[in-house]
Amino acid sequence: QVQLVESGGGVVQPGRSLRLSCAASGFTFSSYAMNWVRQAPGKGLEWVAHIWYDGSKTYYEDSVKGRFTISRDSFKKMLYLEMTSLRAEDTAIYYCARVVGAYSNYFDLWGQGTLVTVSS
Amino acid sequence: QSPLTQPPSVSGAPGQRVIISCTGTTSNIGVGYAVHWYQQLPGKAPKLLIHDNANRPSGVPDRFSGSKSDTSASLAITGLQAEDEGDYYCQSYDNDLSAWVFGGGTKLTVL
């Protein structure tokens, strides 16, 4: 079955760290770029981070640069998001999404999301 | 503030047609990047609805259609059904921000 399953969310204090995971199955994970997209409670979608199919390049939304790190393990078919120095405004559901499209990328497969709550 | 602007809400009666607009700028839609649309039903993850301005993935009903012109795009939904109620997002890429960007989302209410 083609799917993405996130895990690792939870409640964390401001300034602490958390690592999210996304398990891919049913497709050739190593052939696809991947994204993390988040959605704050009651708000819209926001792109967070992007990693090339081979992990050679990564890109980040400005507010998370220097704090978040996207990585992948193609042997294990896993995508990760290491989040440090967490802030209240990072509270959101975090989705992993598969990236397709040669010029104008779009996201054709999404996980169910994992909730991160940053609160003291 | 997203560089892609959508109306906060639209509504229509069952069977009617609604259009959701997505207005961009010369650093995203206007420079040639395609527009893609996602449907997010209540409590669910987003789902790809339209890609590359007007293409429907397999399984998406032909009641959903997309178009693009200059710096804007539109999603049309015909034959509205109760199960269409939810949030709809446009998405593209922005050169100035060097980022994938989403519109603020439009809440569709079926009356």
pLDDT at A101 over 90: no
Are A95 and B38 a contacting pair at CB < 8 A?
A: no
Read off the pLDDT of residues B18-53 as tens digits, 9 standing for 90 and up. 999 999 999 999 999 999 999 999 999 999 999 999
Q: What share of chain A is helix, strand, coil (3-state, %, to 5)?
A: 10, 55, 40
Residue type for position A95: Y
- Mean pLDDT, chain B, integer: 96
Q: Can you name the residues that pair with B52 across neighbouring β-strands?
A: none
Are A45 and B46 a contacting pair at CB < 8 A?
A: yes
A4: nearest CA partner in chain B: B45
Residue B104 contacts A, CB cutoff 8 Å = yes
Task: Please give the distance of CA A59 from its chain centroid, rounded to a whole number.
Answer: 12
What phi and psi, each to the nearest 5 degrees, are found at residue A26? 85, 0
pLDDT at A102 over 80: no
Across the beta sheet with A18-25, the strand order is A3-7, A18-25, A78-83, A68-73
